[in-house]
Chain A
Amino acid sequence: MNGTPTLEVENLVKHFRVGSQLLGSGAVVHAVDGVSFSIAEGEMLGLVGESGSGKSTVGNCVVRLLEPTSGTVRLKGRDITHLARRELRPLRRDMHIVFQDPYSSLNPRMTCGDIVGEPLRIQGLARGRELEATVHELFDRVGLRPELRHRYPHELSGGQRQRVGLARALSVSPSLLVADEPVSALDVSVQAAILNLMRDLQARMGFSCLFITHDLATVEYLCDRVAVMYLGQIVELAATAELFTSPKHPYTQALLSAAVVPDPEVQRTRTRIVLEGDIPSPLAPPSGCRFRTRCPLEHESAPRSHEEEPPLIDVGRGHFVACHLVHPGRDDAHLLDAAELA
């Protein structure tokens, strides 16, 4: 696992202009504001956040469905941030995306076999009989009966459609897979099957994966490392086990506390952190530390948190935190004893 990381993202910024395009006025949505991380070969990085965190936007920028406003995205060392469409085309073979909604991610007018075979066809990687054989094999690999190739998406269940989406994404054997909330729209029992499938596929095919989700439990199950996002920025980044046993950022702690545990004994006796207020709008993020408007420790971090953005610093063991109250030397933002959160 040495050599060039599969994905390197540096200071990624994506702003959207809202309102009149002709006159150039209108507000700016700060969807992503300076995100940096990298994914090594064969690694799965979880990107966690709530609405407005910008996690989906990061995913879209990484696969160049959106063009970043600034910053760099490097796929296997090659800078793809501002590449033109034509140059990007052959590189698209190496990265792919799975979407959240199993109902809108497949063209209702194409058969599932055609859908899965399309990337191969577009990239000119297979044709005719060879293509059919590959599609057949892909269906097998994602656990779908090959006869379903001839069916239309609306005849398949949500879980089956998601498998088709996975088969399509992996058909070209990409080095990087971005999974944008791939199981959120599925029933619980089906989620388990898809999560298991993704684990197996990743172990077998060895691709790197950016797993975007709002569900911490899923991340713990699947990912090697986790990045927590809030309002367009990464507030904490660490190896999974480390994040769950000793979360340092107050937001991470609140998030862990808010995640309901399916065990009444535990759930009802845990200490809870209930955050006040709502998530601010990305149209007008708070100055300085963006979390300060809801942070239970704001009284400690003020007035610095009002003026300065906390930088993402290394607190050891590959654990990064962006909080004024955390720095090497001082151990934890003393919000909660980590043990109480489990």
Chain B
Amino acid sequence: MTRVLDVDDLSVRFETDDGTVQAVDALSFTLDEHEVLAVVGESGCGKSVSLMSLLRLLPPSAHVSGRAQFGGHDLLTAPASRIRRVRGREIAFVFQEPMTSLNPSFRVGRQIAEVLRRHLGLTRRAAERRAVELLELVRIPAPDRRVNEYPHQLSGGMRQRVMIAMALACDPKVLVADEPTTALDVTIQAGILDLMRDIRERLGTSIVLITHNLGVVADIADRVLVMYAGRKVEEAPVKDLFRGPQHPYTVGLMGAIPRPGGADHQGRLREIPGRVPSLVGPWEACAFAERCPRADEKTRSEVPPLREVERGHTVACFHPGPE
């Protein structure tokens, strides 16, 4: 499969009141055509920041380093004009809050058309026609009517579909969806996931799905990347990860979720004691050591490197393995 995105040694630092925060530390990953890569982690793990840094969507207090090969250019050093071309056209974002991502003052069709005119130079009429086609693509019923409505007239699920339509307008190579269904109801979420699967099949778009929901990951991802405190701690094909998680954090995450239809009513959910460490300062030990049942002298004094434990399955841990 063709490689679409190759990120190497990505680091993001923020200067804040409390000092330097290392939001992302030496992150490397790749993305192929047709692939759905899930980036999993809890709040503050750096999953959103890392993807946003690729398109310079971070505030000026962010310092980004590393390499990100896309379309023959390094996104991190490319000139601003190149980034503007890539944004929305070759790499498109869909964010979590459909309520606030759309401009309430403009009709939905016009907002989609704006993307088309800006990036593809379509005429107004052509852009509007294409907008209707896109609404159809994202399975919004009665698209020719909806195209003239304002965001507040649409439900949350519909708005998210509109966002996806806008993202797909220029047929991007990569769609980055940052918690796209977290703010939606369960039954609506099912529809959006269905849609994303459909998009991957029909258009061949690669998808980076940022989420904390392992169920969503199980539903749609091909490969999974688990992040903790700004670092990658585990990466594997989805079935391998769920069948045999190796990093104690991943093991902990899986045990923390109540599973419908399978929970042992007497058993307790697995808790991960402690809390996410502050990201101030560089790491000199394993970031997870404080909360890890397998911690020992070594993990408290050295940063564990990423090692391949099986084919395509890497872990950053000195004591990897299932429970």
CA distance A254 to B158 in the complex (A): 19
Q: Are A261 and B253 in contact (CB under 8 A)?
A: no
User: Is B132's CB within 8 Å of the partner chain A?
Assistant: no
Tell which of B260, B270, B271 touches A261, judged by Cβ atoms closer than 8 Å: B260
User: Is B73's CB within 8 Å of the partner chain A?
Assistant: no
Q: Are A221 and B214 in contact (CB under 8 A)?
A: no
- Which one of B42, B218, B272 has the greatest number of beta carbons of chain A within 10 Å? B218
Cβ < 8 Å to B, chain A residues 241-283: 244, 254-268, 272, 274-275, 277-279
CA distance A275 to B194 in the complex (A): 11
Minimum C-beta distance from B270 to chain A (A)? 6
Q: Are A278 and B158 in contact (CB under 8 A)?
A: yes
User: Is A188's CB within 8 Å of the partner chain B?
Assistant: yes
- Which one of A244, A260, A266 has the greatest number of beta carbons of chain B within 10 Å? A260
Q: Are B268 and A256 in contact (CB under 8 A)?
A: no
User: Is B238's CB within 8 Å of the partner chain A?
Assistant: yes
Q: Which residues of B contact A195 (CB under 8 A)?
A: 258, 269
Q: Which residues of B contact A254 (CB under 8 A)?
A: 187
Given known contacts A187-B42, A217-B259, A264-B242, is B215 in contact with A192 (CB within 8 Å)? no
Of all chain B residues, which has the CB nearest A49? B185
User: Is A66's CB within 8 Å of the partner chain B?
Assistant: no
Q: Which residues of A contact B239 (CB under 8 A)?
A: 264-265
Minimum C-beta distance from B294 to chain A (A)? 16
User: Is A88's CB within 8 Å of the partner chain B?
Assistant: no
Q: Which residues of A contact B80 (CB under 8 A)?
A: none
Q: Are B268 and A262 in contact (CB under 8 A)?
A: no
Q: Are B271 and A193 in contact (CB under 8 A)?
A: yes
Q: Are A259 and B260 in contact (CB under 8 A)?
A: yes
Q: Are A260 and B155 in contact (CB under 8 A)?
A: no
Per-residue CB proximity of B42-55 to A under 8 Å, as 1/0?
11000000000000
Q: Which residues of A contact B263 (CB under 8 A)?
A: 217, 220-221
Q: Are B259 and A263 in contact (CB under 8 A)?
A: yes
Of all chain B residues, which has the CB nearest A338? B261
Q: Are A267 and B271 in contact (CB under 8 A)?
A: no
Minimum C-beta distance from A47 to chain B (A)? 15
Q: Are A50 and B212 in contact (CB under 8 A)?
A: no
Q: Which residues of B contact A274 (CB under 8 A)?
A: 187, 190-191, 194
Q: Which residues of B contact A266 (CB under 8 A)?
A: 218
Tell which of B185, B215, B273, B275 touches A157, judged by Cβ atoms closer than 8 Å: B275
CA distance A317 to B270 in the complex (A): 32
Q: Are B186 and A221 in contact (CB under 8 A)?
A: no
Tell which of B188, B221, B272 touches A192, judged by Cβ atoms closer than 8 Å: B272
Q: Are B256 and A50 in contact (CB under 8 A)?
A: no
User: Is B296's CB within 8 Å of the partner chain A?
Assistant: no
Of all chain A residues, which has the CB nearest B216? A260
User: Is B88's CB within 8 Å of the partner chain A?
Assistant: no
Q: Which residues of A contact B217 (CB under 8 A)?
A: 262
Of all chain A residues, which has the CB nearest B261? A342
Q: Are B189 and A216 in contact (CB under 8 A)?
A: no
Tell which of B189, B253, B271 touches A258, judged by Cβ atoms closer than 8 Å: B189
Per-residue CB proximity of A212-224 to B under 8 Å, as 1/0?
0011111011000
Query: What would 11 A/B residue contacts be, using CB atoms closer than 8 Å?
Result: A51-B185, A157-B275, A160-B275, A188-B42, A192-B257, A216-B260, A255-B186, A257-B190, A260-B216, A275-B191, A342-B260
Chain A residues proximal to chain B, CB less than 8 Å = 50-51, 157, 159-160, 187-193, 195-196, 199, 214-218, 220-221, 244, 254-268, 272, 274-275, 277-279, 341-342
